Structure 1
């Protein structure tokens, strides 16, 4: 079931067969029995993320109860576009699944054919094997690291890489394109990434019909939240500056339908290609990475000291980096935006996620308190 390069496939959605639904149910019940007192929120997370793992197994013709360490490594690799904390959580849920199954003595079906595939760091070490640091504090911001500072960050420092607005402006000025129309489309993509803080798949979904031109906002469907759990956030409004309205409207109403043979005027996705009515997230990510390279702010993060023939696994500037930078900017630099407002714009399920972006400033607390009172 892998692609023609032998790579693992990412499931099209998170739906699973009735057999895997039953297996998921057995796991959850056993988890509750073995880990009495586990928080309901933890159980909900495990249920959701083990479902992701089971969907991956089905997409790649893997028997979950016979999975090997290589299968789990493949799962980690196909999720390389996600944040460290998200990948870490996904992996912990896989570990939980196999630990619970291995220790279950009551249910006959819960038997592992090849043992626990990811029991401890001796089998898979997220930090050493994949440079995944799960405990990075977002409020420790380092906005302008020199190239030789990268190793310190990768070795476990709490500094987080984030771009400031002046660096983002350089990206806008550095987008490339084979034609003026393509360059305009690419600049629109980079600007929307920064202005809205959307994930790449959400940028791909942005629709002309969902633009409110008067309020300068776009309604978008979340790429991560479960509709049953977060019905109030499954669709959210994201915003763009008033001065961007003319450029965006020019693209949508005058240029877009002449640029692409696959679209109708004034409707459909904002970001398109010459042959397709929807630009996929990875292509938008490539546009951002190339603009960063042109601007001189792009550099490899993994491997740290790559040779001329080594494949770069992770780049400094990506759509996800721009998203995190935008949220950091809103939280720390924009006094008119409150945390709850940023949470809504970012599409975070919990305020704690937004709080991770707060930059502590003890010197400012006293004066801010006096103003507030």
Structure 2
């Protein structure tokens, strides 16, 4: 329907454009939970497994709010309800005793997800098709993006130097080395089988989308690709495979590269190892004035996430991508290696300072 169509012909009250448009199609009663089930079925169909978990955690707030407000039929939801929910959601994260608003990017993600949920409900005649389009998620400035959390190249080199010297060929070392060197997502590193390794004269790793055996890639078949690795990383992987790797299969009979006593390494274990390896006190003095002997973040690998100086696997990926760009890699080459669009690189991964970018462009001045 064109935006030039008069308000009254679109079934919208000109004095209250946020109100529910008068339905021009018959709606069928739908509870928020039924809408959730329809939405999650579509999410499972179209996305990788961890995306499903993200949608579950975001929509749970909507279901909680609907229950709190006594909304048991989505037919009755109006644009004004969406505004009320948005105002409520700003202060709900389970960790806010002082009613501090959640981060703007978090709120945007929550509202974006709700809009997709309502679109799926509209397809099933649960809400008016115009309702999702009335939703206006928060806009983000460049500074709003969570761009400052990354492992810098200098810090990565310190961490890897320590691991190469004191933890060589440990599972922790192999995980961190792979994440930094390849820029892979955590799911990509976890998905690698022995058969995916090619460690000859031109070493590389194949990535395959195998959702039927619990190793999906974020971009599904579009994420499948060969990833070149250096001779040094190939040597590390040979040493790991031949001397340290537990010779076990996963529950699907596959031979994972990264194994524990339980089979294929879990995402949680990879995350714990990264938090542990990225603690500043691993290679330097604690910048937070904690005594490593008593610090709660230094008791074991499972508690390392408590350290305010530790970072997640995604911070390694962001740091690796920024490092490649800083080394004058072409953005399209970075895009292909990391399996991320050039637009997303610009918005979420490129941490180079503006002056650094300017100096890198200077080499092309003679072509003007």
Q: For this structure pair, what is the TM-score category when the shorter chain's length is used for normalisation?
A: 0.5 to 0.7
Q: Residue 198 of structure 1: SS of its match in structure 2?
A: coil
Aligned CA distance change for structure 1 residues 199 and 363 (closer, same or farther; 3 Å): closer
User: How far has the Cα of 1:86 moved from its partner?
Assistant: 7.8
1:241 equivalent to 2:199? Answer no
Q: Distance in 1 between matches of 2:264 and 2:230?
A: 24
Q: Distance in 1 between matches of 2:362 and 2:307?
A: 45
TM-score computed with the length of structure 1 as normaliser: 0.55
Q: Distance in 1 between matches of 2:104 and 2:217?
A: 14
1:351 equivalent to 2:339? Answer no
Aligned to 1:341: 333
Q: Residue 263 of structure 2: SS of its match in structure 1?
A: coil
Q: Answer whether contact 1:298 1:317 (CA < 8 A) is retained.
A: no
1:165 equivalent to 2:153? Answer yes
Q: Answer whether contact 2:148 2:351 (CA < 8 A) is retained.
A: no
Q: Distance in 2 between matches of 1:251 and 1:320?
A: 24
Aligned CA distance change for structure 1 residues 295 and 253 (closer, same or farther; 3 Å): same
Q: Answer whether contact 1:216 1:239 (CA < 8 A) is retained.
A: yes
TM-score computed with the length of structure 2 as normaliser: 0.55
Counting only pairs closer than 5 Å after superposition, residues 288-367 of structure 1 correspond to structure 2 as 288-293=274-279, 294-296=282-284, 312=306, 316-333=310-327, 335=328, 337-348=329-340, 350-356=341-347, 357=350, 359=352, 360-361=354-355, 363-364=358-359, 367=362
Aligned CA distance change for structure 1 residues 324 and 85 (closer, same or farther; 3 Å): farther
Q: Distance in 1 between matches of 2:67 and 2:119?
A: 15
Aligned to 1:56: 56
Gaps of 5+ in 1: 1-18, 29-43, 78-83, 127-132, 138-155, 301-306
Q: Answer whether contact 2:278 2:309 (CA < 8 A) is retained.
A: no
Pick from 235, 241, 245 the counterpart of residue 256 of structure 1. Answer: 245
User: How far has the Cα of 1:210 moved from its partner?
Assistant: 0.9
Q: Distance in 2 between matches of 1:322 and 1:67?
A: 40
**Per-residue Cα deviation, 1:170-189 (whole angstroms, up to 9, x for no partner):** 2124449xx978x6221111
Q: Answer whether contact 1:184 1:251 (CA < 8 A) is retained.
A: yes
Q: Answer whether contact 1:136 1:157 (CA < 8 A) is retained.
A: yes
**Per-residue Cα deviation, 1:53-82 (whole angstroms, up to 9, x for no partner):** 89628998x96994567x979x978xxxxx
Aligned CA distance change for structure 1 residues 327 and 86 (closer, same or farther; 3 Å): farther
Q: Distance in 1 between matches of 2:238 and 2:204?
A: 12
Pick from 119, 123, 126 the counterpart of residue 109 of structure 1. Answer: 126
Q: Residue 270 of structure 1: SS of its match in structure 2?
A: coil
Aligned to 1:40: none
Q: Distance in 2 between matches of 1:352 and 1:88?
A: 21
User: How far has the Cα of 1:367 moved from its partner?
Assistant: 3.3
Q: Distance in 2 between matches of 1:54 and 1:64?
A: 16
Q: Distance in 2 between matches of 1:247 and 1:54?
A: 34
Aligned CA distance change for structure 1 residues 252 and 20 (closer, same or farther; 3 Å): farther
User: How far has the Cα of 1:211 moved from its partner?
Assistant: 1.5
Counting only pairs closer than 5 Å after superposition, residues 167-246 of structure 1 correspond to structure 2 as 167-175=155-163, 184-214=170-200, 215-221=202-208, 225-227=218-220, 231=221, 233-246=222-235
Q: Distance in 2 between matches of 1:76 and 1:180?
A: 38
Aligned to 2:256: 269
Q: How many residues align?
A: 271
- Aligned Cα RMSD in Å? 5.3
**Per-residue Cα deviation, 1:6-27 (whole angstroms, up to 9, x for no partner):** xxxxxxxxxxxxx6599559xx
Q: Distance in 2 between matches of 1:369 and 1:58?
A: 46
Aligned to 1:90: 109
Structure with bigger helix share is 2
**Per-residue Cα deviation, 1:185-226 (whole angstroms, up to 9, x for no partner):** 211111001001112222211222111223322122466645
Aligned to 1:38: none
Q: Answer whether contact 1:299 1:316 (CA < 8 A) is retained.
A: no
User: How far has the Cα of 1:98 moved from its partner?
Assistant: 7.2
Q: Which has the larger radius of gyration?
A: 2
